[in-house]
Amino acid sequence: MNWGNVPTDIVGLVIGYVLGSIPFGLILTRLAGLGDIRAIGSGNIGATNVLRTGNRPLAAGTLLLDGLKGTVAVLLGGAIGGPAVAILAALGAFLGHLFPVWLRFNGGKGVATYIGLLAGLFWPAAIFFCAVWIATALATRLSSASALLASLLAPILLFFIANGTLAALFAALSALLWWRHAENIRRLLAGTETKIGEKR
């Protein structure tokens, strides 16, 4: 394919999607001889479910790589076409993580990638997100509740200290993140959500 004839907006979106769709949780657990991460716990490919294998370094590696793929997508998009393409690359990366074509469009829930995108587009918001997540996790030991609260507050912060475009982007990503956490929300309301470190 001759990328020179393709609008940079589409190139940024596609690059973001391809990077975002790399299922690091699945890859790392298979390389470690732990089988298919989708067969244990929640069946999710993210770091929280990888932690249920009992392998903390592997979970940390999944978290880091899922975040970095979002940051790299943003940086590549920005290098190709500036801030507007960086935003499209961010959208593509998030959609790629949630709906990877290689896994029949059944991917992760997006928390680590969301943080990586924040880091690439407006790093103070990434620090804010992590601070809210950690504070909530320490208080509740609930990963899902921590992510939901942090993703609810991040677009509000962006609206006041960054710009409306970033706030709108992350409001949309937060809506997708909440949608992917629908089952977690039901368990939270029922008081049956699994706590950090517990096996389901």
What is the span of the domain harbouring residue 64? 3-190
Please determine, for residue 167, whether its predicted confidence score (pLDDT) is greater than 90: yes
For the segment 97-126, what is each residue's pLDDT rounded down to a tens digit?
A: 999 998 989 999 999 999 999 999 999 999
Please determine, for residue 3, whether its predicted confidence score (pLDDT) is greater than 50: no
Query: CA dihedral defined by 165, 170, 171, 177, rounded to 10 degrees?
Result: 160
| Residues in Cβ contact with 158 at an 8 Å cutoff, skipping those fewer than 6 apart | 122, 125, 166, 167, 170
Model-level pTM? 0.93
In a domain, 196, yes or no: no
In a domain, 99, yes or no: yes
**Terminal alpha carbon distance of the chain:** 45
Please determine, for residue 195, whether its predicted confidence score (pLDDT) is greater than 80: yes
In a domain, 41, yes or no: yes
Q: Into how many domains does the chain fold? A: 1
Q: What is the mean pLDDT of residues 30-50?
A: 85
Name the residue among 47, 50, 38, 51 with its Cα closest to residue 69: 47
In a domain, 200, yes or no: no
Angstrom distance (rounded) from CA 181 to CA 179: 5
> What is the predicted pLDDT for the residue at 65?
97
In a domain, 92, yes or no: yes
